Structure 1
Amino acid sequence: MSSLREVLETHVRDGSVPGAVGLVTRGARVDVQAVGSAQDGGSVPMARDSIFRIASITKPLTAAAAMMLIEDGRIALEDPVARWLPELASPSVVRTPESPVDDVVPALRPITLFDLLTFRAGYGFPSDFSLPAVAPLFSELKQGPPQPQAVVAPDAWMAALSRIPLLHQPGEVWLYNTCSDILGVLIARVSGRSLPEFMAERLFEPLGMTDTGFAVPADRLDRFTGYYRADAEGKLEQVDAADGQWSSVPDFPSGAGGLVSTVDDWSAFARMLLAEGAVGSRALLTPESVRQMTTDHLTSAQRAASGLFTEGQGWGFGGSVDVERLDPWNVPGRYGWVGGTGTAAHLVPATGTVAIMLSQVELAGPTPPVLMRDFWRYAAGG
């Protein structure tokens, strides 16, 4: 496809999404396109500053917040997290991944911050959602598509987590999602501030991310997009209204998927990473912290086992890392992630590329939809 607008309009015309906003930067060149409608069947056109539920592209921001605490000297990568999360002081592990939740053995070592950042703490989603130890993640912790107002406050959430066994021993296997929510609680307890307060002060305000947060203020609801799910016939049904789940800060601000944002706000975060942690003359992160975030930390076996979610990509802190060119959109060194509400955000340090696409339809599963793949192909120049 010859232009970003054409890529997005193709999928609006076929009815798969009401609208979308895409941003691609290559060095100093910036291309931003907003197409379609902010609401399904509505008359409000999508705009560059439309606000979206960004779901799992929250994860890189949460990882960056954790790196700030490391740089502050408040915690270290190798530190066991039980000092701040006593609920995880004596975790148990199911004897085998297929074992019942009451057939457990002790963890062989403590869970560390590094385990949480690399998604290898033992909690999270494997390729097989039917395993007994996975069910409580949905029923007790409300993991899955974001529903912020349905989740209990952090202390109660951690108490529930402590009753759920690990699926694997710490450090052994990459498992999706839950570690970012644990990380959000850890950041709050280490910093002594709520996660929304810490991220606003240390990330959003310095970066000028004025539309990013865990709720949408009432005076900005006119820019808040709809959120939909396609039924078996492809018809869109509303998942959340503008005055619904994101109309107030939730009791449990999810570090895994709770943020709302815009393409320009997420782009400001990406540009900071491309500048090795700098914003003008101010350093929010050191180059070494950025390098650790954007470097693959998985073994080849762990990458292979994570294929349902990452398609064989590696994992840094809070996002995937392409380790080889597998397809036109897989560029070695590309860092970022996708969100289950129809969002994607990546950067390529080697080329100075940022590629962000925000839409409003929930993903049907871990496999990225055609819209995302077409967008990535365009962003990669393919």
Structure 2
Amino acid sequence: MTFAPTPALSRRSLLGGAGLLGGGLLLRRWAHAAPVDPRLPALSALLDDYVGSGKLVGAVATLGWGTQAPEVVARGVGTRGDSRAVDENSLFRLYSMTKPITGMAAMMLIDEGKLKLDQPIADFLPGFAHMTVLADPAGPVDKVVPATAPITVRNLLTHTAGLGYTIVQTGPIRDAYAKAGIMPFETSRVPVPGFGETHTAPSLAAFADNLAQLPLVYQPGTRWSYSVGLDLMGRVIELASGQEFAAFLKARFFDPLGMDSTSFQLARADVPRFTTNYVVADGRLLPIDVAANSIFLDRPAFPFGGAGLISSPRDYDRFLAMLLNGGVFAGKRVMSQRAVDMGTSNLLPPDASTAGTWIAGHGFGAGGRVGLGDAAGTYGWSGAAGTIGFISKVGGVRAGFYAQFMPSTTYPFSEAFPQAVRSDVRARILAQHKVAA
């Protein structure tokens, strides 16, 4: 299989969270009352359009109010040619929607005093104590200057550590990352042009050690630049908690929330629920990771805290519901209110520039974008294969979109999905007003 990748496909669209938040002013008018009409006309129309036209094989959307179970719209199948329809229990590659989970895990440890937000990560990883920075972000890796500030926990959480990403960087540093195995994601068993090499460091410890030997792309704290910071955060979490990263997530999130379909590896018994991932090339959907023989069936080199999880719409909605309810799910406290509030607030260093980036005009919290102004109270992120998840604390709603296609910028879901959510919320408000009248 060959195709000519677009620049977006071969760089930032691979694992990144495109625009998804906004319009909080409409959501803040939501009155927290029980829904009257169970239909979601805008979301239904959106999925009918894309699945009915063949642009997508299948898609699921969820919309939840407060602590109530989510309403679900599902269309199509998980793999073209199969008869099994997708639903809230189908399994999807989250890719960068893993980042908010890793970010909130760090918030737990900060709340417990095992980490500090502005603590240098060299306290746990001494190899990062004396970093150098490229004189030119796209220049030779041996032309460097000393770092003027330490990398902190805050920097890792907010992509301001100065670290790179093979899906973003160009030039020698990208090649150096690839050679050192700084490739914390999986895409396919076969080479796919534009999707990066498959060589990955053999363990999370080796990943961190190898990364510490490479220069930074930017001075810490000076610029928002999408990076492997949340993957490195996984190693810091291990050292701060004394628990293997994947085991920490399972014990602190997945088990308490009943997220029994969320993991870094696909179980063979779950293959019937797994979806196939497609690349959109010349208007066609070409399979790049077929569910029955997915690379996610293999044990990953290590748990990728930035892009490694698979999950179901049901499971991820539980994570969002917990955040929306201040750390409580089904009457059980999973995180403190303080930890949630901090993680969903703007944690960007005051001098970090966001000009010309995906988050210009927005803030950034623990692994996810934070809305400002009219979008205040929103938090969330998206994934490379067409997943989106966010909450609006002011509006009291949470929403998720799940499909499997690359690059995620092929279709305008980063704008279309939140717009459909706002439309359905608005319709619900009007319906309630009519009933009240």
With normalisation by structure 1, the TM-score equals 0.90
Which amino acid is the alignment partner of residue 322 of structure 1? G
| Cα pair 1:296 1:314 within 8 Å, conserved | yes
1:179 partner amino acid: G
Matches within 5 A, 1:161-200: 161-200=211-250
Distance 1:259 1:201, change over 3 A: same
Distance 1:239 1:222, change over 3 A: closer
Tell me if the contact between 1:22 and 1:357 (Cα under 8 Å) persists in the aligned partners.
yes
Contact 2:327-2:340 at 8 Å conserved across structures: yes
Cα distance, 1:276–1:380 mapped onto 2, change above 3 Å:
same
Q: How far did residue 138 of structure 1 move? A: 4.3
Q: What CA deviation, in whole Å up to 9, does each residue of 1:11-41 have, x standing for no partner?
A: 0122221001100123347320111011023
Q: How far apart, CA to CA, are the structure 1 residues paired with 2:404 and 2:175?
A: 27
CA distance in 2, matches of 1:126, 1:142: 8
Of the structure 1 ranges 118-127 and 27-36, higher mean CA displacement relative to structure 2 is found in 118-127
Residue 144 of structure 1: CA displacement?
7.4
The answer to whether the 8 Å contact 2:345/2:364 transfers is yes
Sort the Cα spacing of 1:145 and 1:10 in 2 relative to 1 into closer, same or farther, 3 A: farther
Q: Offset at 1:300? A: 8.5
1:347 is matched by which residue type in structure 2? Answer: I
Report if the CA contact (8 A) 1:58-1:258 is conserved.
yes
Distance in 2 between residues matched to 1:306 and 1:289, nearest whole Å: 30
Instruction: Give runs of aligned pairs for residues 219-258 of structure 1, distance below 5 A.
Output: 219-258=269-308
Q: CA deviation at 1:225?
A: 0.8
- 1:134-213 correspondence runs (5 A): 134-143=174-183, 146-147=186-187, 150-152=199-201, 153-213=203-263
Matching of residues 242-281 of structure 1 within 5 Å: 242-281=292-331
Residue 332 (str. 1) matches residue 371 (str. 2) = no
User: Is residue 99–residue 305 contact of structure 2 (8 Å, CA) maintained in 1?
Assistant: yes
Offset at residue 275 of structure 1 (A): 1.3
Post-superposition offset of 1:142: 4.6
Residue number in structure 2 paired with 1:216: 266
Match of 1:81 among 116, 121, 136: 121
Bigger mean CA deviation after superposition, 237-246 or 184-193? 237-246
Contact 1:303 1:314 survives alignment (8 Å): no
CA distance in 1, matches of 2:290, 2:208: 26
2:289 is paired with a residue of what secondary structure?
Answer: strand
Summarize the alignment of residues 15-30 of structure 1 with structure 2, pairs less than 5 Å apart.
15-27=54-66, 28=68, 30=70
User: Which residue number in structure 2 is paired with residue 124 of structure 1?
Assistant: 164
Alignment of 1:50-65 (within 5 A): 50-65=90-105
Q: Which letter does structure 2 place at the counterpart of 1:313?
A: H
Q: Say which SS state the counterpart of residue 310 (structure 1) adopts.
A: coil
Corresponding residue for residue 380 of structure 1: 422
2:43 corresponds to 1:4: yes
Tell me: CA distance 1:131–1:174, structure 2 relative to 1, closer, same or farther (3 Å). Answer: farther
Contact 1:37 1:43 in 2 (8 A): yes
Question: Corresponding residue for 1:13?
Answer: 52
Residues 1:94 and 2:134 are matched in the alignment: yes
1:100 Cα deviation after fit:
1.6
Deviation by residue 1:153-212 (Cα, 9 ceiling, x = unmatched): 122222321222101111111111310110011112222222111100011000111101
Larger mean Cα displacement after TM superposition, 172-181 or 126-135:
126-135
Superimposed CA distance per residue, residues 92-149 of structure 1 (whole angstroms, 9 cap, x where no aligned partner): 1112324321111111222111111121111034996324434433453454763498
**What amino acid is the match of 1:317?**
A
Residue of structure 1 equivalent to 2:369:
320
Q: Tell me, yes or no, if the aligned pair for 1:93 and 1:169 is still in contact at 8 Å.
A: yes
The one-letter amino acid paired with 1:169 is: Q
Structure 1 residues 297 and 155: CA distance shift in structure 2, 3 A: closer
| CA distance 1:205–1:341, change in 2 (3 Å) | same
Shift of the 76–285 alpha-carbon distance from structure 1 to 2, 3 Å rule, reads same
Q: Which moved more, 1:131-140 or 1:27-36?
A: 131-140
Aligned to 1:43: 83
Secondary structure at 2:72 match in 1? strand
Post-superposition offset of 1:86: 2.2
Q: Identity rate of aligned residues, in percent?
A: 32
The answer to which structure, 1 or 2, has the higher relative contact order (CA under 8 A, 6+ apart) is 2
C-alpha distance in 1 between matches for 2:236 and 2:370: 24
Q: Who wins on radius of gyration, i.e. which is larger?
A: 2
Look up the equivalent residue of 2:297 and give its one-letter code: S
Deviates more, 1:244-253 or 1:131-140: 131-140
Cα 1:147/1:137, change in 2 over 3 Å: farther
Cα distance change, pair 291–98 in 1 and its aligned pair in 2 (3 A): same
Amino acid at match of 1:81: I
Tell me the equivalent position of 1:345.
Answer: 389
Task: Name the TM-score, length of structure 2 as normaliser.
Answer: 0.79
SS in 1 for 2:284: coil
Deviations 1:189-248 (A, max 9, x none): 222222111100011000111101111222211111111111234332323543332114
What does residue 105 of structure 1 align with? 145
**Equivalent residue number for residue 328 of structure 1:** none
Amino acid at match of 2:419: R
State which drifts further: 338-347 or 270-279. 270-279
Task: State the secondary structure of the residue aligned to 1:61.
Answer: helix
Amino acid paired to 2:238: A
